[in-house]
A and B are shown apart, each in its own frame.
Chain A
């Protein structure tokens, strides 16, 4: 699976949009981009995933560049409960293969 690069930490004001970038320049054509988050001392929580089209669900939006070498997770209106470590992972297809976690981005939402 391709490696990902994320900034180690970010701050965001409560109520504002949080934009979390992820670089995956070696991604291959059959690899999906997944986003999970982990609130302190809990298991990771699924947020969203996509292949090449932008995706949106009730939690977030995922914007994938046309060349698929990077993506951005957008939390439209960040709340204090969104403070967590956010992991961007790329994985082959929908086969259910293993996830290999990178270092993630620690997002702190500031009141």
Chain B
């Protein structure tokens, strides 16, 4: 299947700093990408839908000013956690929709583990 990459795979930062996570579709174009967050021993929680060339759509309860999403090209979406705090420590996963398939399958990235000290 298609490949989605994330960078970095893990990051440790100090409280108050901002962290940018990249999500790339390597062999297909994705007008829509999705960002999820997963806390230990919990399920994935959808944070936002990222649309190429337009503003992201955030799920209820997710602060758009804290989690900045940019989807500037058909193969790249970025999530910036601004002024990160320890409670933002989590596993962040993106997925991309492959419009080339007959059923718009979603492919997930390997995830980025963020630890805020």
Q: Which of A42, A94, A95, A101 contacts B45 (CB 8 A)?
A: A101
Residue ranges of B at the interface with A (Cβ–Cβ < 8 Å): 1, 4, 6, 32, 34, 36, 43-46, 49, 91, 93, 95, 97, 99, 102-111, 113
Q: Which residues of B contact A96 (CB under 8 A)?
A: 32, 97, 99, 104, 106
* Shortest Cβ distance from B98 into A: residue: A96
| Bound CA span A44–B108, Å | 6
Q: Verify A103–B111 contact, CB threshold 8 A.
A: no
* Shortest Cβ distance from B59 into A: residue: A98
Q: Which residues of A contact B93 (CB under 8 A)?
A: 43-44
Q: Which of A46, A95, A99, A103 contacts B34 (CB 8 A)?
A: A99
Q: Verify A99–B109 contact, CB threshold 8 A.
A: no
Q: Verify A87–B43 contact, CB threshold 8 A.
A: yes
| Bound CA span A101–B99, Å | 21
Most buried by B among A32, A43, A103: A43
Q: Verify B106–A46 contact, CB threshold 8 A.
A: yes
Min CB distance A99 to B, Å, is: 6
Q: Verify B95–A99 contact, CB threshold 8 A.
A: yes
- Find residues 19-73 in chain A having any chain B CB closer than 8 Å to their own CB: 32, 36, 38, 41-46, 49
Q: Verify B44–A44 contact, CB threshold 8 A.
A: yes
Q: Verify B109–A43 contact, CB threshold 8 A.
A: yes
